[in-house]
Structure 1
Amino acid sequence: MAKIQKIKGVADLFPEDSARYAFMEKTARDVFSSYGYGELRVPILEKTELFCRSIGEETDVVQKEMYTFPDRKGRSLTMRPEATAGIVRAYVENKIFQPGKVSKYFTFGPMFRYERPQAGRMRQFHQIDSEVFGAAEPQADAEVLLMLSSFLSKIGLEKLSFELNSLGCPECRPKYNQALKDFLSSLDREQLCEDCQRRMDTNPLRVLDCKSRNCKALTEKAPTLPDHLCGECREHFDTVIALIDEAGLKYTLNPRLVRGLDYYQRTAFEVTSGDIGAQTAVAGGGRYDGLVESLGGPKKVPAIGFACGMERLAMLLQGEFEPATDFYVALVDERAAREALIFGEKLRRSGLKGEVGFTAKSMKAQLRYANKINAQKCFIFGADEYENGTVTIKEMTDGGEQATVVRDEYFK
């Protein structure tokens, strides 16, 4: 019978790999909770309309990348391509909003996009996501940036670049869009890629987000958003910059940074690394003050958030992430199998982590395995230990000293 293989673009994460993800999740919980965030878990499966209305009909995510299918009743469902839309849906559906209330959430989990698999980019990938609702002040933007910086620093990543831009608001964005359309209309349309030819008519801002070298070169002299900001947007962005300057966060202003989703406005940012090839972005986000209203919530609920790609972060993590092992119980004499198992259980109940050998093997083989799993101590059950009610304890570090003790006395 033919074996069944995994789907292209997904991965099996064995303990040595998943330990990296567990480390990132634990660090995120610690850092985010110190800023007043709580964990919110939302469904993987949502109505397709949620993503069309939030992300934008003309984005590449909706046009090309979503896993969408009808259920048995003909309803269109989608595997979530990102987390923000689902969190906003939960926020609106559960009527969390109250005047003056600030709500802070974070979540982890798998996302799904049909993209060409490559280093750091999978069709099932994982994100760490953070969102804040109810805070319009630039101080919220600055705090989000500083929290993201703190998280990345705590997992050991230092050689990263923060890029910032302001995308304006519904007041100043239309004027910029018109200026950009005027510029794009002066170009030879046929020289742009097929996607950008379509974007010129449907969503010209997306042209600036194109990764094609040729399109980048053709639009190098395009008008920039920062030059078209209204007074309020300019003041907001200047305050964000002043705050993170005072906090010591290093960054670069990138007037071409527009992000890939339609809901962003005002502050937008990305964190990039030069150590993982062409796919340099490891985190990104921004402000999306109109999204709550567009998904049926009240007007003028400000919001800002970010997401980190865990596959890309995992590629940058240094060091070993093997689960800690305190002990290994080595079974050398088959007669001691029951005693070995019970002894190992007592060790775990005392707060230690480790394994028990189920089959009797040679001492050499048992010690080799104890070394392989990085056990700190090896508890040996051989013929003498079985007959005398003892256990031999061998230190796997510090010179390998060993001693034999009465089992009943060990836990007293």
Structure 2
Amino acid sequence: MKLQRPKGTNDILPGESEKWQFVEETMRLVFSDYHFSEIRTPIFEHYEVISRSVGDTTDIVTKEMYDFYDKGERHITLRPEGTAPVVRSFVENKKFAPEVQKPFKVYYTGPMFRYERPQAGRLREFHQIGVENFGSKNPATDVETIAMAKAFFDQLGVQNIKLVINSLGDSETRQTYREALITYLEVHLDNLSEDSKRRLHENPLRVLDSKDKKDIEIVKDAPSILDFLTDASQQHFSDVKTMLASLEIPYQVDQNMVRGLDYYNDTIFEFMTDINGRELTICGGGRYDSLVSYFDGPDTPGFGFGLGIERLLLVLDEQGVVLPLEQALDVYVVVLGAGANVAGLKLVQSLRDQGYAVERDFLDRKIKQQFKSAEEFGAKTIITLGETEVETGHITVKNNTTRKAIETQLDAIQTDFDPVFSEVMVD
């Protein structure tokens, strides 16, 4: 049997991993400006953490969960999304306590797992960036968090992003709307897809999110949830729109937009972009004011979003966005002869101790091959160290672009390389 990576997974190799690092570093810089801190939760959770919170009738639970019984007969699942584990942690670690500053704002990144048909930008092991904001029901929290997502995309250079929003209202709204939607859909029952027929009485709002062409046509004329909002939910949604306008963030309202998870209420949103004439969602989230209490914590409002790193990188690549990945070496040490091996080791380590990025030859290759490696690595300077240089203590530091060369002492640069490096790099 040929050993290969499992279907739906990827190796992130050098050359690609630098892009991931740049995205993650941008995430940390932008999110810290909004006073979010990092949280890290386990990759696997008790099954009930996901099934109860995400919803027993969602595709995630019914079709996509990687769940199993461990050796202690505990029902375990690899996490398919990030919000439920963070809420579990919020409650378990009592971050709702009065002495903890509110809102409690965290971000995370890491692998998630869903069993589905692999496709571009969507794998069985995928990586997600997410944020969760606990403790504020203020619509300004909704808008600020949306603005943070936009700032992240702007910083990365994502083009043609569009913000789409909707309101799912409160529990009273959804109960009234649920009945109206079922009444409408039952008239079209024979023409609904099999999935939508199953969802009709379990979770009719999910029919609005169907990708089946027949379902899409049917729900075009479905009643709008916006016509069923309670006064409180109507005011919240109105405030969100006013605040988005105050920040000059353009948006569109899509009354048929729902999220794929059951815990959302009031504001939901998605950021989309255009790829080859096709709209692609790159980020989604919203408000979830009942989820903390669902985990036996006190009533605590919440708001958050998630986005897939694989899809984000695919979008950046398709849009021709070149990330500024600086991988150039400061120094490449050409090592010639066995007699220079130990001295080469000492030189390289001394330069690294001074804060320089350094590489050397380990394979006893000819000088021409070593110079070629220096070019491929983008080395700023080259130091040639052979047995003669070791004996005399005299070496040459050369600018790899201008060919400017400076002769100096081996002992001197092992102690302080800064003056020589600065001088040789001056045009």
Letter aligned with residue 59 of structure 2? D
CA–CA separation in structure 1 for the residues paired with 2:412 and 2:72:
65
Deviations 1:108-159 (A, max 9, x none): 1000001111110000000111000000000100100111111111122132
CA–CA separation in structure 2 for the residues paired with 1:371 and 1:316:
31
CA–CA separation in structure 2 for the residues paired with 1:353 and 1:178:
65
Letter aligned with residue 374 of structure 2? A
SS of the residue aligned with 1:74? coil
**Aligned residue in 2 for 1:309:** 308
Q: Is there any run of 5+ residues in structure 2 with no aligned partner, and where?
A: 417-427
Tell me by how many angstroms 1:324 deviates: 4.2
Say whether residues 1:156 and 2:153 are aligned partners.
no
**Aligned residue in 1 for 2:403:** 400
Say whether residues 1:350 and 2:349 are aligned partners.
no
Letter aligned with residue 39 of structure 1? E
Counterparts of 1:4-403 in structure 2 under 5 Å? Answer: 4-98=3-97, 101-187=102-188, 189-275=189-275, 280-299=280-299, 301-317=300-316, 318-319=321-322, 321=325, 323-397=327-401, 399-403=402-406
Letter aligned with residue 363 of structure 2? T
Letter aligned with residue 257 of structure 2? L
Comparing 343-352 with 137-146, greater Cα deviation is found at 343-352
CA–CA separation in structure 2 for the residues paired with 1:322 and 1:190:
58
CA–CA separation in structure 2 for the residues paired with 1:70 and 1:279:
39
CA–CA separation in structure 2 for the residues paired with 1:386 and 1:353:
22
CA–CA separation in structure 1 for the residues paired with 2:305 and 2:298:
22
Tell me by how many angstroms 1:356 deviates: 2.0
- Give yes or no for contact 2:64–2:114 (8 Å, CA) kept in 1: yes
CA–CA separation in structure 2 for the residues paired with 1:191 and 1:330:
73
**Aligned residue in 1 for 2:422:** none
CA–CA separation in structure 2 for the residues paired with 1:293 and 1:327:
57
TM-score relative to the length of structure 2: 0.92
Q: Is there any run of 5+ residues in structure 1 with no aligned partner, and where?
A: none
- Give yes or no for contact 1:161–1:251 (8 Å, CA) kept in 2: yes
Letter aligned with residue 80 of structure 1? R
Tell me by how many angstroms 1:209 deviates: 0.7
CA–CA separation in structure 1 for the residues paired with 2:66 and 2:111:
13
Tell me by how many angstroms 1:224 deviates: 1.4
**Aligned residue in 1 for 2:423:** none
CA–CA separation in structure 2 for the residues paired with 1:327 and 1:281:
43
Letter aligned with residue 215 of structure 1? D
CA–CA separation in structure 1 for the residues paired with 2:394 and 2:81:
56
CA–CA separation in structure 2 for the residues paired with 1:334 and 1:57:
67
CA–CA separation in structure 2 for the residues paired with 1:184 and 1:190:
10
Letter aligned with residue 385 of structure 1? E
Letter aligned with residue 310 of structure 1? I
- Give yes or no for contact 1:160–1:272 (8 Å, CA) kept in 2: yes
CA–CA separation in structure 2 for the residues paired with 1:249 and 1:324:
38
Structure 1 residues 154 and 336: CA distance shift in structure 2, 3 A: same
SS of the residue aligned with 1:272? strand
Tell me by how many angstroms 1:312 deviates: 0.9
Tell me by how many angstroms 1:327 deviates: 2.2
Tell me by how many angstroms 1:379 deviates: 2.0
- Give yes or no for contact 1:180–1:222 (8 Å, CA) kept in 2: yes
Comparing 55-64 with 361-370, greater Cα deviation is found at 361-370
- Give yes or no for contact 2:159–2:273 (8 Å, CA) kept in 1: no
- Give yes or no for contact 1:132–1:303 (8 Å, CA) kept in 2: yes
Comparing 61-70 with 388-397, greater Cα deviation is found at 388-397
Letter aligned with residue 269 of structure 1? F
Letter aligned with residue 109 of structure 1? G
Tell me by how many angstroms 1:387 deviates: 2.9
CA–CA separation in structure 2 for the residues paired with 1:334 and 1:253:
71
CA–CA separation in structure 1 for the residues paired with 2:9 and 2:314:
16
SS of the residue aligned with 1:177? helix
Letter aligned with residue 219 of structure 1? V
CA–CA separation in structure 1 for the residues paired with 2:40 and 2:22:
19
Matched positions, count: 408
TM-score relative to the length of structure 1: 0.95
**Aligned residue in 1 for 2:419:** none
SS of the residue aligned with 1:13? coil
Structure 1 residues 159 and 28: CA distance shift in structure 2, 3 A: same
Structure 1 residues 323 and 214: CA distance shift in structure 2, 3 A: farther
Deviations 1:312-343 (A, max 9, x none): 11123322536343222221333211111111
Letter aligned with residue 37 of structure 2? G
CA–CA separation in structure 1 for the residues paired with 2:275 and 2:77:
33
